[in-house]
Amino acid sequence: MKRTLLSIAVAATSCVAVADYDSLDYTGKPATKHTIVANNALDKTLPWHDTAAFERSERGLIAAFGDHSAAELRNSRGYLEVDDVRRDRPDTVNPSLWRQGAMNYASGGLYEVTDGVYQIRGADLSNMTIYRSDNGYIIHDPLITREAATAAWDFAKKHLPPINGNHTITGVIYSHTHPDHYGGVRGLFEDGQLPEGVEIYAPKDFMEELLSEGLLAGNAMGRRAQYQYGNTLPDSAYGVVDNALGMGTTKGEITLIPPTVIIEDREETVVIDGLEMLFINMPGAEAPTEMINYVPAYNALNTAELTYDGQHNIYTFRGAQTRDSLAWTKYLSEIKHRFADNIDNIHAAHSAPVWNNPETEVNEIADYLTMQRDNYGFIHNQTLRLANQGVKINDIGRAVEAIVPESQQQNWASRGYHGSYSHNARGVINLYLGYHDMNPTNINPLTNVDRSCLYVQTAGADTMYKQAQHHFNQGAYQEASTLLNDIVNCEPTNIEARELLADSWEQQGYQSETMAWRNSYLQGASELRTNHIPEALKAVSPDIMSQMTTAGFLDFMAVSIDASKVPADMAFNFNIVHPEVSEVYYVEFSNANLAPLKVETAVSEADLTLSIARNDLIAVITGQASLEQLIDSQKAKVDGDTSILSQLKSVSVEFKQDFEIVPIMN
């Protein structure tokens, strides 16, 4: 279920260079001397003396995967030694990112956070937290896939004591709307169904935000996620070595059982099978909706994904609403001042817990929260200071990087593994000021291809290539790729430029500390060399689609209209009626636009009225039934001009995740 550093190290010595445009078995080229020098130079600046994260990752081990006890694990491999991690790093991996991967690797099994609180770590990208209640166990964030959750819970049951003779699940908690925090839920139960009497708790607006974030732009997000997460790259020193939040993501079925209890108020105290929990909603920071929970009986606080051992994304490459870093800092301040002095530990959806040590005067939880808070606060405040002094969006990243304080540089949990200072700063500017830098040339820019061809036609492809080769030979890979990118955009079949652009991206990937940067560079290089777009993983599973509201479906239908296909005189209106729940939606189509609205009663003069149960409409959406079949079986009724349905179909597109990000040769 997880990669090992050994397998990565073996891959590092066995991969060979390829540039075969008919082969999909891309593995990568060696690091150049410039990359080796750059990575070695960075190595000397890192705080290797700080091994606290490794110690926290190994603390409380009950059983390692493979059914090893803590003692057996120590005897079989010994705990990870930082000196070994540092020495074994391949030349093709940034030393800081390699260390992050080693730290994530250090967790792999069932751990006791404190008596009554346990975690499965290393089974998936996220942690599964388990709370003991009066008659069983409460599961918090059940991983990404059904398969991972089943395996993790089965493993936990082998090593946790039964309560009243059984390992009964007495409740489930979703901390927020990202798939690694709910997607495995059906794997917790033998038949995949929520048992009677078991509740699922989630923050306010959970279903609305879940469907909103991943639906309307979900197809593009899925393709972009290939670059951010590198989920079609090899697991090797030439590909994916870490996913910042954890070692990697499992493959399987993403599921969803809708929550049965929503925490509506800012704070609510809930008793789940005798265990009291204080839930606090903290929306708009790491996720559009998210909640933390304090468990008084165990004096433990779950911070969800508001904390982790690294700098998180404020802007995420896959695409999502930019996070509010100011709100994030305020939440962390609140957590610190309310809880840090009085709790035993904070545990979270990623990384190992942080404990206070009563034998010392150092409040480790307060120090950890302070640094996390100040990391996001620094990015927010310095970005806006610089923006107010005229620094533009594409310059802000380097300006912020140049002034990062030494205290943050020397703190592992502030370094840019998931989100970098550079792209997070650009995200802050975009949130406040938008994408435009006010340079009039950029008001209505040329298309990417037209701009590239302008440069190529002006300077000449040969001249640009020679300059790019010169920069590459000097180790100036970004300068080289800037020139080569224009050549390849304008001349996709220019093999020389494609190969050198792939080489320059690859070396930048090898030097990148941020996993999304590394993966994006290497994914781009792979697609240039193989001339192949791999199939993307789809986060919007049938289980999630089945929870789509009719309003959401109509909004998605509106996005699917291809205006270039719409005849000038195409206009109509229609009702969709769900008689079993007394819901009515009225839709107008005009000017190549679909405009839906939920109404009290059907519009009598509409061109068409479709009466259909909501569940039957979902069956049509998910492909389990056809509208024609439902009409024939009288489960759906149509009154009016039925040609409207075929007209809509004729001007709609089916989204596919095979669109180009880098040019593909036809």
Q: What CATH number is attached to the domain comprising 586?
A: 3.30.1050.10
In a shared domain, residues 118 and 205: yes
Comparison of pLDDT for 67 and 33, the residue scoring more: 33
Is 398 inside a domain boundary? yes
DSSP-assigned beta bridge partners for residue 118? 112, 130
Confidence at residue 212, expressed as pLDDT on a 0 to 100 scale: 82
In a shared domain, residues 633 and 500: no
Q: Is the pLDDT of residue 193 over 80?
A: yes
Lowest mean pLDDT among 23-27, 115-119, 226-230, 364-368: 23-27
In a shared domain, residues 113 and 139: yes
Positive or negative torsion for Cα 338, 340, 342, 348: positive
Q: Are the C-beta atoms of residues 351 and 244 closer than 8 Å to each other? A: no
In a shared domain, residues 181 and 212: yes
Confidence at residue 1, expressed as pLDDT on a 0 to 100 scale: 31
Confidence at residue 214, expressed as pLDDT on a 0 to 100 scale: 75
H or E element, residue 583: strand 583-590
CA distance 4 to 7: 5
The whole model's pTM is what? 0.93
DSSP-assigned beta bridge partners for residue 575? 586, 609
CA distance 516 to 512: 9
Is 528 inside a domain boundary? no
Confidence at residue 17, expressed as pLDDT on a 0 to 100 scale: 30
| Count of domains for the chain | 4
In a shared domain, residues 60 and 153: yes
Among the candidates 434, 462, 484, a domain finishes at 434
In a shared domain, residues 459 and 424: no
> Domain holding 111: CATH number?
3.60.15.30
Banded model confidence at residue 8, pLDDT cuts 50, 70, 90:
very low
In a shared domain, residues 46 and 109: yes
Q: Is the pLDDT of residue 76 over 90?
A: no
| Mean pLDDT (whole number) for 574-600 | 97
CA distance 242 to 514: 10
In a shared domain, residues 401 and 502: no
Confidence at residue 215, expressed as pLDDT on a 0 to 100 scale: 80
In a shared domain, residues 138 and 198: yes
pLDDT in tens, 463-511: 999 999 999 999 999 999 999 999 999 999 999 999 999 999 999 999 9
Is 616 inside a domain boundary? yes
Among the candidates 239, 265, 291, a domain finishes at 265
Is 107 inside a domain boundary? yes
Is 458 inside a domain boundary? yes
In a shared domain, residues 426 and 462: no
Q: Which domain holds residue 457?
A: 446-511
Is 286 inside a domain boundary? no
Confidence at residue 26, expressed as pLDDT on a 0 to 100 scale: 59
Pairing state between β 261-263 and 109-114: unpaired
In a shared domain, residues 80 and 15: yes
Sheet holding 169-173: strands in order across?
68-69, 61-64, 109-114, 117-121, 128-132, 137-140, 169-173, 199-203, 261-263
CA distance 224 to 524: 11
Is 124 inside a domain boundary? yes
Is 306 inside a domain boundary? no
Among the candidates 491, 511, 531, a domain finishes at 511
| Mean pLDDT (whole number) for 103-107 | 90
Mean pLDDT over all residues of the chain? 91
pLDDT in tens, 213-222: 778 888 899 8
In a shared domain, residues 24 and 142: yes
